[in-house]
Structure 1
C-alpha cells in the first residue's frame, strides 16, 4: 500500500516524502512550494537584475529538494508565497486568513486524488489535514497525522505565565492560540488513525491538553532527522582557542516561545571578551525589546538552508532554551556541525552528558549559569564538541526512514 504525503507549506514534509519514496511507497508528494527552475514562479529569477536575482535565488534555495523525484511532486497555487510575504511584512492577521484560504484550496486540490480508485494512505500535517482526512475516512483510507507542535492548550497556559514577566517581548496579537484553532486540532485528532510527534515532550502535551485516552493511545513518538547532505563535509571540531570568546548561536525563530529573551539577558551579563552571541532568523520580538541588546549581539536575518551548516560550524555552542517545541531538528543540525548544546527539556532531548547541558529550569539565571560554565571550562566545551557529530548519527535520514518503515508495519497501513 502506498502513501501520499501532503503539506501546503514545508515543515519536514519533504524529508518524510523522501523517506517514503526510498521505501518504494510514495504515491505522491503534494505541496505548495517546491523549487523547479523551469516552472513559474521560479523561472522569474532568470529575468531579474543580478542583485535581486541573487536574493530571490537564496529564498528559492530553501525549497530545493533534489532527492525527491519531481514526477511524484504535485504543487498548487501561490497562497503560500503570498502568506509568507504577508508574514514577513508583519501583517499577521492577513497571513492567518491567507493560510486558511490556501489550506482550503489545497484540500480541494487533493479531493480528486482521494476520491480515486487508487489504493493509498494519507500522511498529513497539523492544521492542514482536517478536510482531506474527513474525506479519506469516507473512502476507507488510513490517515496519519504528523503533529509538528505540541497541544496548544498547554502552549496557551505556558505563554500566559511568560506574558506576566516578559510581555514586552510579545508582538501584539501573538499572545495565545485562538480557541477555534484548538477546536480544529481536536477535530484533526479525531479524524486520524495515528498521530506522530517528534518528541516525548510533545506527546505528553497532547495527553495533558486533551485528557483523551483515545488520543494518547493513537500517539507515537517518531524522532525527526537532519539533512545529512547539507552537513556532509563539516570537519571535526578543533579545540576552542582559550584566548578568544566562546561563540554562542541562537538560530531559528527569534521569539519568546523559544526563549530569545533569556538568551539576550544572559549574554548581556557576560563580558564581550568572554562570549559572543549570534542570532540568525526572523526577528519575532518588538524592536523596542531588542534595542537594548542590539550592540551586544550579531543579528543575521533569515538565510537559505544551504547556508546554515557554515554558520553553525563557525560557532561553539548552540542555545535552545525553548518553552514549547514539537522536537527541534535544529538541535540535530547543531550536533552534526560539531556544536555543544544548551537546551531545555521542552524539546527533543538531543543533548547527552557527552554533548551538552539540559537546563533544570527555563529562565535567564539557569541559561546564564550554563553559558558561564562552558566559558570557564573549555575542557568540558571541547569534550561536548568532540562527541557531537557521533551523537548526530542517531538522527540521520536513514534512521528516520527505518523508523517510518517500522511504524508502517506496526499500524498496518490500508
Structure 2
C-alpha cells in the first residue's frame, strides 16, 4: 500500500512513521510545513541563533525526494509568536493559529488528491485536526483513510477533567481544551467517522474512544519508541541531600501540576523540584505562585532536557489525561525512573515497582506515598532506573516505524 503521509509541524513520532514507511517502500509522499534536511538552505539558516528552533524540524536525507513543503502559514505562526502578535495566532480565529496551519495543510492534501486521480496513492495517513478535508476527498476516490489520534478523545477529556473545574477553580484557566468551539469538536468527530483505521500510541487513548457516540473504525495501539539510551549514568544516594524531582511538560492541570505542587509541599526541604515547561496561560495566579517556590525553566532544547534528566533522581509525570507522554520514554532512556499515572502510556511501558511506578491519576495522596517510599528506600532509584534503561533499549524509535508500516500493510492483505 502506497501512503501519503502528512503532518503540519512534525515531531519524533512523525519522523519515525515517515522513515518506517520509507524503509518498507510504502511512502508515496510526505507533506509538512517545514522540513530541514542536512546541507540545505534551511539547515544553514538554523545556525543563526534566532532561528535555531527550526532544527527541531530535521529529517533524514533519504526522505527529501518524497517531501512536499507548505511553509507560509507555519512561518507566519512562528514569526508572529516571536514578535508577540498574539491576535494573529489566536486560538482557532487567528490567520496563523495552530488550527489555521493544520487546516491549510489538510486543504492542500485534498487538492493534491484531486490532481492525482488515478495515481498509485492507496492510503492517506493524517492526524487529528488535520484530516477532514483530505479524508472526504480520499473517500470519493476509494483511498483508505488512516487516522492517528495522538491524544485521548475529546469527550472523554471533558468527562475526566470536568471535575477539576469544580474542585480546583483556581486552576481552571489552564485547562485550555475546554475552549474549543463546537465547530472544532464536530470536525474531530467527523474525522473519526471518516476513518477506516485508527492508530493510537497508548491503551489509555484507545480506552477514551469508548466515549465516541458513533460507529468507530478498528483501533490499533502501537506505542512510540524510546530515544537512544545513555551509555553511562551515575547514581548518587539522596541520603544526605534533598531528593531531586523533575517535571517536564506543559504547565496545565491536565498534566496534574496542581497535584504535583501539593505533594511536594508536604516534604519541605527533603525534596527539590525542578519544573521545565511553558505556562498554558500567563495569568493563572495559582500556577504563578507555585512556580516561585521551585526552580522553573520555561524552555530547554531536547538535548538539554535529556542531559538534565540524567542529573535527577526521578521524573514525576502525574498527568490526568495524556495520549502518551514522550517525557516518560525520554527519562527512562536516560536511566531516570518515572512516577506516572494510569492515564498515560505508563501502563504500556512500565511494570510498577520494577522499571518505574504507576499511581492513580488525580490522587495527590498516591503521589505523596510514592515519593515517601523513595525517601525511605533511596537504593530503589538506581535499581529501577537501570531497569528503565533496559526497557528503553528494547524499543528504539525504529521499531515503532516498523510496526506501524507492518500494521498498514496488513490492512491491505
The two structures have a TM-score, normalised by structure 1, of 0.88
Distance 1:307 1:29, change over 3 A: farther
Cα shift readout 1:243-271 (whole Å, capped 9, x = no counterpart): 22221111121111010111122222212
Task: Give the paired residue count.
Answer: 399
Say if 2:7 is the partner of 1:10. Answer: no
- Which residue in 1 is equivalent to 2:250? 253
Structure 2 CA distance for aligned equivalents of residues 283 and 383 of structure 1: 34
- Which residue in 2 is equivalent to 1:319? 316
Structure 2 CA distance for aligned equivalents of residues 316 and 85 of structure 1: 37
Deviation at 1:282, TM superposition (A): 1.1
Contact residue 61 and residue 304 of structure 1 kept, 8 A: no
Structure 1 CA distance for aligned equivalents of residues 239 and 392 of structure 2: 26
| Residue range with higher mean Cα deviation, 30-39 or 114-123 | 30-39
- Which residue in 2 is equivalent to 1:178? 181
- Which residue in 1 is equivalent to 2:51? 56
Structure 2 CA distance for aligned equivalents of residues 67 and 271 of structure 1: 50
CA root-mean-square deviation: 2.5
Secondary structure of the residue that 2:148 maps to in structure 1? strand
- Which residue in 2 is equivalent to 1:307? 304
Deviation at 1:147, TM superposition (A): 0.6
Say if 2:189 is the partner of 1:195. Answer: no
Structure 2 CA distance for aligned equivalents of residues 367 and 400 of structure 1: 30
Cα shift readout 1:55-90 (whole Å, capped 9, x = no counterpart): 431x12222233652222211133224335656856
- Which residue in 1 is equivalent to 2:376? 376
1:133 to 132, 135, 156: 135
Contact residue 144 and residue 196 of structure 1 kept, 8 A: yes
| Residue range with higher mean Cα deviation, 15-24 or 234-243 | 234-243
1:347 to 329, 344, 351: 344
Distance 1:260 1:55, change over 3 A: farther
| Residue range with higher mean Cα deviation, 12-21 or 37-46 | 37-46
- Which residue in 2 is equivalent to 1:82? 76
Structure 1 CA distance for aligned equivalents of residues 370 and 87 of structure 2: 37
Contact residue 244 and residue 271 of structure 2 kept, 8 A: yes
Cα shift readout 1:219-254 (whole Å, capped 9, x = no counterpart): 1111112333xx5x4424435343222211111211
Contact residue 355 and residue 385 of structure 1 kept, 8 A: yes
Structure 1 CA distance for aligned equivalents of residues 46 and 302 of structure 2: 18
Deviation at 1:297, TM superposition (A): 1.5
- Which residue in 1 is equivalent to 2:105? 106
Contact residue 342 and residue 351 of structure 1 kept, 8 A: no
Contact residue 160 and residue 175 of structure 1 kept, 8 A: no
Contact residue 258 and residue 324 of structure 1 kept, 8 A: yes
Say if 2:283 is the partner of 1:280. Answer: no
Structure 1 CA distance for aligned equivalents of residues 174 and 202 of structure 2: 30
1:163 to 162, 165, 168: 165
Secondary structure of the residue that 1:276 maps to in structure 2? strand
Secondary structure of the residue that 1:69 maps to in structure 2? helix
The two structures have a TM-score, normalised by structure 2, of 0.88
Distance 1:332 1:134, change over 3 A: same
Q: Which runs of 5+ in 1 are unaligned?
A: 47-52
Structure 1 CA distance for aligned equivalents of residues 390 and 64 of structure 2: 33
- Which residue in 1 is equivalent to 2:63? 69
Contact residue 246 and residue 315 of structure 2 kept, 8 A: yes
Distance 1:148 1:175, change over 3 A: closer
Distance 1:40 1:163, change over 3 A: farther
Deviation at 1:136, TM superposition (A): 1.0
- Which residue in 1 is equivalent to 2:208? 205
Cα shift readout 1:349-370 (whole Å, capped 9, x = no counterpart): 2321311211134222221221
